[in-house]
Structure 1
Amino acid sequence: MTAETVFEGRILVTDRMTLGEGPGYDPKTDLIWWFDIVNCRLHFLNASNRDRRVIPLTEMASALAVVDDHRQVLSTETGLYFRDTSTGALTLHVAIEADDPTTRSNDGRVHPSGAFWVSTMGKQAEKEAGAIYHVLEGKVTKLFDRLTIPNAICFSPDGDIGYYVDTDNNRLMRVDLDPETGLPEGEPQLFIDTSGRPGGMDGAVCDGDGHIWNARYGAGLLDHYEPDGRLVGRFQLPALQPTCPAFIGRDGGWMMVTTAAQGTTPDKEPNAGFTFALVTGAKPRFDPPYRAVHGL
């Protein structure tokens, strides 16, 4: 029987995100980030001094990766943009679906090789309008298409396995990868089918032992899967629409979870859209920097 644990954690931020997504953390700077996608805002929280900043963006964005001491890269509705950490200035790195105004970026995570996997979807969740792309050193490769809401992009610790899901069908896929490049070495195979359960598989992260932690949107759960796909634990969250987890804190002892307030009201769901943190006991693992230049 799967163990279910009542939420014992804390609220990081009480701002109601319409669609909180893309959480991440840089242990070098102790900086936490996440997005409110539909409101075009990037949120930063310094874990050391609790300094908070909200950065308005000119278009929807959903994922961020560290590049180096001076740059980050954002996944937006028209492509990947470098962000200068001192000035906030954005410069285009590579275009992705820039000629399609009906789509936006959605999920994203950096492979151990430094490749950035990012996904797109229709702004109205149009059927099969989304795709997943691999970006390394500025080269864009489309990996999978005809997806509706591509989510749960994450990788095994040594980079030889990749995972993703289409939340529209709740079938988590597993694909063998080249650890050196993050490119597939075969066809995706069905790994976990949760189509008969309440809610939908949303964002995910792999821990240092290769376990998968998945936010179950609409069910208020953070699900814990063994590397063989067995569901072995569930954390009940105080909001029904969790979207994505990420390890935070220099020791990685906490896991943050973003949530969404879309389709809800404060009287019905007072915690919807809040950003949470909890202790799971998982072995932490942080995304590496995006490899923007050959040889780095």
Structure 2
Amino acid sequence: MSEAELVWDVQAELGEGPVWDAARKAVWFVDIKGRRLHRYTPATGDKASWDAPDQIGFALPAEDGALVCGVRGGLHRFDPDSGVFALILPVETDRPQNRLNDGFVAPDGSLWFGSMDDSEEVRTGALYRWADGELTRHDDGYGVTNGPCLSPDGKTLYHHDTLEKTVLAFDHDDGVLSNRRVFAVTEDGFADGPSMDAEGVLHVGLFNGWGVARFSPEGERIGAIRLPVQTVTKAAFGGDDLRDLYCTTAWLGNADKRGDQPTLGGLYRVRVETPGLPQNLIRL
């Protein structure tokens, strides 16, 4: 494993949701509070950014080359060529205090994502699945949602309540969840965004935990990847061999630490031994 390398000192207030776009050979990620969508192209070092209509929790690639973005109030289609966001589907019109936060694409092309109270004071967050044009609420009562992601065999879905420092696990069968249980608790930071490697090891960003925690399929803490900044929000596998781990960070809640940690909010990369799983595309 290599040392963490800063690849873009983007100064994101709340960097989140890194995702590898294999077609473009680029990493997409968001700054939720900054209402910005970013793209980094490793081969050229090219950096590009777009303003989002509101707070943007995730941006995930779709089969038609667009991105589906979780913007406060609904799902949007983003066209990278025109830079235009277009509303696909309103979400949680009954919970105007909420925003969307983190998402995942399953192998069947369905989109899973969570919501949360923007003030992080009320447990109104929920877990959703969007497939075949239908939106289904699968779980409810979260403080701050993060994830989800699936095990390599697709039989276990992991989802976090970050306020509780808790990684939850569900049995998963063709979009149906059951047997909700606690998989792990992170004591050295708040369990933020999760990603899965090819061997079934869960990688969990640690907000205020200085890195990424690694958990075995049995829920055992088996190590950590350390970063030089304390607020790591999510790590995602990228590169042609899926062994480049891209980590988003944030200065939200730690503005007073920016003197000692001037690259808080930057995008980092770590070279790892075990590859991740290929990024699935949303089926529109």
Tell me the TM-score normalised to structure 2 length: 0.94
Range that drifts further, 165-174 or 266-275: 266-275
1:91 positional shift: 2.0
Structure 1 residue 203: deviation in Å? 0.5
| Contact 1:61/1:105, CA 8 A, preserved across alignment | yes
- Structure 2 residue matching 1:177: 3-state secondary structure: strand
| Pairing 1:7-156 to 2, within 5 Å after superposition | 8-156=3-151
Q: 2:226 aligns with which of 229, 232, 236?
A: 236
Q: Which residue pairs with 1:182 in the alignment? A: 175
Q: In structure 2, what is the equivalent of residue 273 of structure 1?
A: 265
In the TM superposition, what whole-angstrom CA distance separates every residue of 1:73-96 from its partner, at most 9, and x where no partner exists?
A: 111111111112321222222211
Per-residue CA deviation, residues 106-128 of structure 1 (Å, 9 max, x unaligned), is: 11111122111111111111221
1:199 matched to 2:194? The reply is no
Question: Shift of the alpha carbon at 1:53?
Answer: 0.7
Residues 246 and 267, structure 2, Cα contact 8 Å, conserved in 1: yes
Q: Deviations over 1:184-234 (max 9, x none)?
A: 1x231111133xx23111011011111100111111121111111111111
SS at match of 1:168: helix
Aligned residues: CA RMSD = 1.5
Q: Which moved more, 1:95-104 or 1:31-40?
A: 95-104
Matched residue type, 2:223? G
> Do the aligned partners of 1:103 and 1:123 also contact (CA within 8 Å) in 2?
yes
Q: 1:247 aligns with which of 237, 252, 276?
A: 237
Query: Do the aligned partners of 2:105 and 2:281 also contact (CA within 8 Å) in 1?
Result: yes
CA–CA distance in 2 between the matches of 1:15 and 1:285?
26
Contact persistence 1:77–1:98 (CA under 8 A): no
The answer as to whether partners of 1:83 and 1:90 remain within 8 angstroms in 2 is yes
d(CA) in 2 for partners of 1:208, 1:222: 17
Instruction: Tell me which residue corresponds to 2:252.
Output: 262
Give the direction of change, closer, same or farther, for the CA distance of 1:58–1:172 in structure 2 (3 Å limit): same
Say which SS state the counterpart of residue 40 (structure 2) adopts.
strand
Is the Cα–Cα contact under 8 Å of residues 71 and 100 in structure 2 kept in the other structure? yes
Amino acid at match of 2:59: L
In structure 2, C-alpha distance between the alignment counterparts of 1:123 and 1:98, rounded to whole Å: 14
Q: Using the alignment, how far apart are the partners of 1:95 and 1:154 within structure 2? A: 23
CA drift at 1:99: 4.6
Q: Do the aligned partners of 2:11 and 2:265 also contact (CA within 8 Å) in 1?
A: yes
Amino acid corresponding to residue 71 of structure 1 in structure 2: A
1:283 shift after superposition: 2.3
CA contact (8 A) 1:113 1:159 kept: no
The total of aligned residue pairs comes to 282
**Range that drifts further, 120-129 or 263-272:** 263-272
Q: Letter of the 1:222 partner, please give it.
A: V
Q: Which amino acid aligns with 1:215?
A: G
The residue identity in structure 2 corresponding to 1:206 is M
Aligned-partner Cα distance in 1 for 2:15–2:52: 15
Amino acid at match of 2:25: D
Of residues 278, 282, 291, the one that matches 2:274 is 282
For residues 44 and 63 of structure 2, the distance between their equivalents in structure 1, rounded to whole angstroms, comes to 22
Unaligned runs of 5+ in 2: none
